[in-house]
């Protein structure tokens, strides 16, 4: 065990970690999840391979951290970001913006989210639970009647990365998926 890291040492480590995750995100967006290797990410981030291994352990650790990083970014946007996704816009606008933002992320990062997703557990992760709560609160703000917990779940279900990946493979555009989700929301909240 070495001495505890200094405050500036911790800041450097945090900055490096963010740099590595941004680099990982770029690689996956450009070349797909399979192209994400420890070597490629160290190169892209301009840090030593040792830094990547020390921080993330192995490729699986890096991928899990990347998905967490992507989810946190969306969380910040819908919890504290600018409207219509963040607070300040009417609840229906926020709900419509949420699905569009999530579909955009899933369309770009879906293969990665699928690769790390544990089939039996993918609905039981903090990020999913937080998103579900967000949708439920918006439905309540809209004074939707009925079993709001299940309606929120029904609205989240079509945003599943594996489903979206297949729909995209079959030639459905992101625009069409967003329009379809928006139509679903309007039906569920019973507005035209």
For residue 169, how many C-alpha atoms fall within 13 Å in the half-sphere facing its CB? Answer: 8
Q: State which residue, 141 or 154, has the beta carbon closest to its own copies.
A: 154
Report, in Å, the least distance between residue 165 CB and its own copies.
7
Asked if 106 and 113 touch (Cβ cutoff 8 Å), the reply is yes
- Binding site residues, its own copies, CB under 8 A: 111, 114-115, 117-124, 146-147, 150-151, 153-154, 157-158, 160, 162-163, 165-167, 172, 176-177, 179-181, 183-184, 187-188, 190
Closest C-alpha to 113, from 70, 161, 68, 69 = 161
Question: Does residue 25 sit in helix, strand or coil?
Answer: helix
DSSP symbol at 3: P
Q: State which residue, 137 or 165, has the beta carbon closest to its own copies.
A: 165
Report, in Å, the least distance between residue 131 CB and its own copies.
14
Sign (positive/negative) of CA torsion 167, 172, 173, 179? negative
Report, in Å, the least distance between residue 84 CB and its own copies.
22
Report, in Å, the least distance between residue 155 CB and its own copies.
8
Question: Does residue 172 sit in helix, strand or coil?
Answer: coil
Report, in Å, the least distance between residue 49 CB and its own copies.
29
Sign (positive/negative) of CA torsion 30, 36, 39, 41? positive
Q: State which residue, 12 or 183, has the beta carbon closest to its own copies.
A: 183
Q: State which residue, 22 or 104, has the beta carbon closest to its own copies.
A: 104
Q: State which residue, 19 or 182, has the beta carbon closest to its own copies.
A: 182
């Amino acid at each position: 065990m070495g001495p505890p890291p200094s405050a500036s040492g911790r800041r450097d480590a945090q900055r490096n970690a963010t740099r590595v995750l941004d680099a990982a995100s770029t690689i996956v967006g450009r070349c797909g999840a399979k192209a994400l290797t420890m070597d490629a990410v160290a190169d892209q981030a301009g840090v030593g391979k040792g830094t990547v291994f020390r921080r993330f352990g192995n490729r699986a650790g890096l991928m899990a951290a990347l998905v967490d990083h992507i989810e946190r970014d969306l969380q910040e946007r819908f919890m504290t970001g600018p409207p219509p996704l963040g607070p300040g816009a009417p609840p229906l606008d926020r709900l419509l913006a949420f699905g569009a933002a999530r579909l955009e992320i899933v369309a770009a990062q879906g293969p990665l989210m699928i690769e790390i997703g544990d089939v039996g557990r993918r609905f039981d992760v903090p990020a999913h639970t937080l998103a579900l709560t967000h949708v439920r609160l918006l439905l309540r703000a809209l004074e939707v009647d009925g079993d709001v917990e299940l309606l929120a779940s029904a609205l989240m279900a079509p945003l599943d990365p594996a489903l979206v990946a297949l729909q995209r493979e079959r030639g459905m555009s992101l625009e069409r998926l967003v329009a379809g989700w928006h139509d679903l929301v309007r039906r569920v909240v019973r507005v035209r």
